[in-house]
Amino acid sequence: MLRIMKYLSKAEIGQMLIALVTIVGQVYFDLKLPDYMSDITTLVETPGSHMKDIWIAGGKMLLISLGSAACAIITGYIAARVAASFTQRLRSLEFRKVESFGPAEMSKFSTASLITRSTNDVTQVQMFITMGLQLIVKSPIMAVWAVCKIAGEGFEWTLATGIAVVILLAAIVIMMAMVMPKFKAMQALTDNINLVARENLTGLRVVRAYNAEDYQEAKFTKANKDLTDTQLFTNRVMAFMMPLMNTIMNGLMLAVYWIGTYLIDAAGLKDKLTVFSNMVVFSNYSVQVIMSFLLMSMVFVLWPRADVSAQRIMEVLDTEPIVENGTKTAADVAKTGQRGTVEFRNVSFTYPDSREAMLEGINFTAEQGQTVAFIGSTGSGKSSLINLVPRFYDTSQGQVLVDGVDVRDSWIKQLPAAGPDKCFSCKGRVWPDMSALPEFDENPWPDVPDKWLQLIPLIESEYQFTE
């Protein structure tokens, strides 16, 4: 999660520092309220107190409350603004990175996964920045500050608070150990359901043509059920958190007042008021301590999914394309004096995840205006050969030259555009599957001119195509 923060701008970092100041101010105001409450309690219980003094103390409490609310509003505004601008940048960075991917990189990330990473994962990061960062900063400051406030108020009360905190932390650790693996699995399951949905929508005509609706529905139902079951498990576990927090908080308040009753009963007549006032103050501080740990528990809810999402985003951003831009521009290509020429010089090619070569020792030149046909069965390397020209892949050996310039030395954006049936800068067609040779069909290509068919034996004898 921390690695992704390097993409924060200087302005966003400055805004977050301002938010840090407002968070500290909010904690200060919140922890100041019990002091004024103690003053009001003392004034009410002290004979001869003036109403004016009570009103003054109450007015100070009101101002403190307004100050706390103002700090909270400023913090929330800054956090939302930073989160929105930051995640906008992340989506743009992911989009530009994916644009540079070739088939090798796309095989690493499925299309559905890339969609999830640029939408759902970014949303998880945004939610964490909006809420989580506030809680991460606020809760420890409030907890430490409140503990320091109550440390000297009474050993019995401090011990009760410590026991409540230990029980709370133990419960949080147990629940987080149960749900964190599920949070990590949810992102992969989200990828899967997006994959199935996209597959069905894009191939709807094929699905209906082959009457495969039931199969696709069963496939989607399974993916949907897996995600739902995981979400239900995490929700059931987290459903115990708030009731547990309330139980611990109520139990602590009961313990504070129970201990206070015994202390007041044992105190002298002059000290009873002081003990009662301390009890009121301590009860408020103890609530602040529990609330701080409650906020921490909310961080544990947001952190796992945000952390997994951040890692998935960084996987995309850290992926460097195998095919990199060259140094030669269109002006450099123009100096060669050639136009519309594609040349293969002793080209061999092996896919990154394959041990066997797809193409070996390919040599040919296609001049502008020539008609070129590539013949071979499915899997013989026709598409692989064509993919080398726009640098979807780079050759393992040899050179592919366009207008006399090695494509590896050219800017990718300036390479010839590849259509499904065009031979790039050549005039003619590339046949996607020419496995139906005359011996299998008396008239394999009725719309193809005879002069084109006459080229087949010449091409087969001159060029080598391997499976």
- The confidence score (pLDDT) of residue 225 equals 92
214 is a domain residue: yes
Q: Looking at the structure, do residues 19 and 73 belong to the same domain, yes or no? A: yes
Q: How does pLDDT run across 16-62, given as a tens digit for each residue?
A: 999 999 998 988 888 888 777 777 777 776 777 778 877 888 888 88
Q: Looking at the structure, do residues 300 and 403 belong to the same domain, yes or no? A: no
What range defines the domain where residue 43 resides? 3-318
Q: Looking at the structure, do residues 401 and 309 belong to the same domain, yes or no? A: no
Give the residue from 318, 342, 372 where a domain finishes. Answer: 318
Task: Report how far residue 314's alpha carbon sits from residue 312's, in angstroms, rounded to the nearest whole number.
Answer: 5
Beta bridge partners of 401: 343, 406
- The confidence score (pLDDT) of residue 204 equals 86
CATH of the domain at 360: 3.40.50
**Residue holding tokens 């709370």?**
168
293 is a domain residue: yes
User: Does residue 349 sit in helix, strand or coil?
Assistant: strand
- In a structure prediction context, what are the per-residue pLDDT tens digits for the chain, which is 467 residues long? 778 888 899 999 999 999 999 998 988 888 888 777 777 777 776 777 778 877 888 888 889 889 989 999 999 999 999 999 999 999 999 998 888 887 777 777 877 788 888 888 899 899 888 887 778 888 888 877 777 776 666 677 778 878 887 888 888 788 878 877 887 788 778 878 888 888 888 888 888 888 888 898 999 999 999 989 988 888 888 778 778 877 887 888 888 888 888 888 777 766 777 777 777 777 777 777 777 777 777 777 777 778 888 888 998 998 887 766 666 666 665 666 667 788 889 999 888 777 788 888 888 888 888 888 888 888 888 888 888 888 888 888 888 888 878 888 765 555 554 443 333 333 333 333 333 333 334 444 444 445 444 444 444 443 333 33
- The confidence score (pLDDT) of residue 221 equals 92
Give the residue from 294, 318, 342 where a domain finishes. Answer: 318
467 is a domain residue: no
Task: Report how far residue 397's alpha carbon sits from residue 411's, in angstroms, rounded to the nearest whole number.
Answer: 20
Amino acid residing at 170: A
- The confidence score (pLDDT) of residue 78 equals 93
8 Å CB contact between 366 and 320: no
9 is a domain residue: yes
- The confidence score (pLDDT) of residue 82 equals 93
- The confidence score (pLDDT) of residue 411 equals 59
Q: Looking at the structure, do residues 99 and 164 belong to the same domain, yes or no? A: yes
- The confidence score (pLDDT) of residue 84 equals 92
240 is a domain residue: yes
Give the residue from 274, 297, 318 where a domain finishes. Answer: 318
- The confidence score (pLDDT) of residue 90 equals 92
Q: Looking at the structure, do residues 116 and 59 belong to the same domain, yes or no? A: yes
Strand duo 359-366 + 342-349: pairing: antiparallel
Which alpha helices (DSSP H) does 272-396 contain, by range?
A: 272-318, 330-334, 382-387
Give the start-end residues of each E strand in 39-114.
none
Q: Looking at the structure, do residues 308 and 393 belong to the same domain, yes or no? A: no
Task: Report how far residue 86's alpha carbon sits from residue 82's, in angstroms, rounded to the nearest whole number.
Answer: 6
CATH of the domain at 75: 1.20.1560.10
Q: Looking at the structure, do residues 208 and 249 belong to the same domain, yes or no? A: yes
Task: Report how far residue 311's alpha carbon sits from residue 303's, in angstroms, rounded to the nearest whole number.
Answer: 12
Q: Looking at the structure, do residues 182 and 39 belong to the same domain, yes or no? A: yes
φ and ψ at residue 16, rounded to 5 degrees: -70, -35
368 is a domain residue: yes
Q: How many domains does the chain have?
A: 2
Q: Looking at the structure, do residues 252 and 373 belong to the same domain, yes or no? A: no
Q: How does pLDDT run across 179-223, given as a tens digit for each residue?
A: 778 877 887 788 788 888 888 888 888 888 888 888 989 999 999
What tokens appear for 386 in the block?
A: 């064509």
Q: Looking at the structure, do residues 228 and 79 belong to the same domain, yes or no? A: yes
66 is a domain residue: yes
Q: Looking at the structure, do residues 375 and 249 belong to the same domain, yes or no? A: no
Q: Looking at the structure, do residues 269 and 340 belong to the same domain, yes or no? A: no
- The confidence score (pLDDT) of residue 432 equals 37
What tokens appear for 116 in the block?
A: 């999830």
323 is a domain residue: no
Q: How does pLDDT run across 324-371, given as a tens digit for each residue?
A: 666 666 666 566 666 778 888 999 988 877 778 888 888 888 888 888
* Nearest by Cα to 444 from 397, 375, 357: 375
